[in-house]
Chain A
Amino acid sequence: MRRGEARRGWLMALPALAVIALIALGPVLWAVWESLYLHDLRMPWLGRRLIGLRNYVEALSNPRFWEAIGHTVAFAAVSVTLEIVLGLALAVAVDSMTRGRGVVRTAMLLPWAVPTVVVGLVWRFMFETPTGLIWFADPLAAWVPIVLADVWKTTPFVAVLLLAGLQNIERSLYEAAQMDGATAWRQFTGITLPLLKPALLVALVFRTVDAFRVFDVIYVMTGGGPGTATEPIAMYTFSVLLENLRFGYGSALSVMIFGVTFLLALVAIRLMGRGALVEPAP
């Protein structure tokens, strides 16, 4: 590699990277720093005292913290599974269409493009229609509209991703299988699924990471209620930060969430394979 090229490459990438470093990396490091302090903006006379890891200890011994984690994990597991399965079914159905694909695709993209807040509000409206059942008052039942709203919004996105993967599979493979006498199901399990693995992995990774960050839809639908029954970890942190104004403690929570997500992201990227990121060198 020629030296001049390397320098030029870095120079071209620099402005964007500088912005990212300043606004993303910097704050994360600051949050780590901040998490070691007691910093409660409601009680400014207490100042800002170094208290080491006590914020973390408080979080880990707080049942509300663990409940929030539990909510988040359960939500992620259920929604992502539904989204992948339904998305796959949808993608397969659309793939086999010969006409009208454009119309269906537009219909599929709409839920994804709609603001999450709007999705949450509309679904909340649909479930508030008094049918005798009060969904949002029951701690378990409240999850149903939440999950449905999330699945409604993101299944089409997953389907679009998988559809692209499906269309990359050569038709002639299916034709050869047909000549060999394979049923539609065998073709699906023997050709479609294995060749779709990379796309499935990408969809799985992105959706899982997104599910862990869930905030908008739950904020608008239940506000975390009834009580804190539907509170995900992002909302708990939000409540600590902007309602209780406890920045030290809130930062500790932020750092922990960040840590978990970062680990997830690393595992995910490793799974997706470095090959997916950079072309093999010529």
Chain B
Amino acid sequence: MAAISLEHVGKRFTGGIAAVTDVSLQIAHGELLVLVGPSGSGKSTVLRLIAGLDAPTSGRIVIEGEDVTEIPPQQRDLAMVFQSYALYPHKTVRENLAFGLQMRRIDAARIEERVREVASTLGIETLLDRRPAALSGGQRQRVALGRAMVRSPRAFLLDEPLSNLDPVLRIEMRTELTLLHRRLGATMVYVTHDQEEAMTLGSRIAVMRDGALEQVAAPMELYDRPVNTFVASFIGSPAMNIWPGAMIASDWEKLLVGIRPHDIELTSAGAGDAAGRVEILEPLGPTTLVHVALDAVPPSRARVVVQANSRLAIGDRIGLSLRRDHLHFFDETTGRRVRFDEARPRTDDLRRDRQSK
């Protein structure tokens, strides 16, 4: 039995805007499932539907076998960490943590005990008597987490909890969240727009676009076998290069070919599968991101990642050699992935084609 199950869930707002369309998802116990997608993709709406803060216009939401679609959020025994933390400003940290337990009529001694336990897990014991206004962003975030943890809910729902933190803190908290998840073994549903966060945190990732699920899979599966051009360019940074197939070889005409910047080698201008001119060099530290203007019609660019010590200058003419085993093919019209071997030409053909152009 899944911990949380969404069955053909849809949400249409008054005015006809469909925020979520036919989403079906099974979340296993102890799993950390990440909902990722651009803004407007419906991921936060799905989270709110699970929480019960909004009601679906179609479909069912089932938690541990129980249909909760009609049940209000107070009774679902879920905990939510809001993007803005939503701490009670007029209560101290201790009171913030205790509130949920007070709703359950648990006696004061047990509440105090539990509050201390959670506070020490998160390292906020010294903050218990302060008010949220006196806390830093990172501290507030921990209190928000603590408020969720204190009730030992059936599942945690996290709505972009790290996006209000500065980048350094964000990465630090990311690690802590991973350790926390491992320690608690709790079921978590995590929403973010940051694909890197998704890849590092999730045991499984659900990519959403325009209210629908594009692909649900483990991180490396999404990276190695994206199911369409959207997922291919969304996951992985810098983004995958996607070109019309005809640019590389004539019998790739009806296809789009994709190759990640890390999987391209630069050679001299004559050799390689494509040629072009170096336009922009972005030093990233250990590597450099090279933007190449390709000799192709219509004009295209290539993103290539090279070692930082390669001696390249703007204006240099170079060749691009694509690693065969890392090519992705997609149908030109639908954008869907096409099986590799069907489309795979022989290496010689490529060179022969280019020379004849």
Contact = CB atoms under 8 A, between A and B. Distances in A.
B70 A281 contact: no
13 contacts: A1-B55, A2-B55, A2-B70, A2-B72, A4-B72, A5-B72, A280-B14, A280-B15, A281-B13, A281-B14, A281-B15, A282-B13, A282-B54
Which interface class (under 10, 10 to 19, 20 to 34, 35 or more) fits A? Answer: under 10
Which interface class (under 10, 10 to 19, 20 to 34, 35 or more) fits B? Answer: under 10
Q: Across the A-B interface, give the 9 residue pairs with the lowest CB-CB distance, nearest first.
A: A281-B14, A281-B13, A2-B72, A282-B54, A2-B55, A2-B70, A1-B55, A282-B13, A4-B72
A281 B12 CA distance: 11
Contacts of B72: 2, 4-5
A1 B56 CA distance: 10
A70 B70 CA distance: 59
Contacts of B15: 280-281
Interface of B: 13-15, 54-55, 70, 72
A280 B70 CA distance: 23
Nearest to B53: A282
Nearest to A3: B70
Contacts of A281: 13-15
B52 to A, nearest CB: 10
A279 to B, nearest CB: 11
Interface of B is mostly: loop
Contacts of B13: 281-282
B316 to A, nearest CB: 39
Given A4-B72, A5-B72, 11 more contacts: A1-B55, A2-B55, A2-B70, A2-B72, A280-B14, A280-B15, A281-B13, A281-B14, A281-B15, A282-B13, A282-B54
A280 B54 CA distance: 14
Q: Which of A1, A2, A4 has the most CB of B within 10 A?
A: A2
Nearest to B14: A281
A1 B72 CA distance: 11
Nearest to B19: A282
Interface string A1-22: 1101100000000000000000
Nearest to A4: B72
Interface in A1-59: 1-2, 4-5
A282 to B, nearest CB: 7
A5 to B, nearest CB: 8
Interface in A267-282: 280-282
A1 B70 CA distance: 10
A120 to B, nearest CB: 45
A102 B108 CA distance: 47
B340 to A, nearest CB: 44
Contacts of A5: 72
A2 B14 CA distance: 16
B218 to A, nearest CB: 33
Contacts of A1: 55
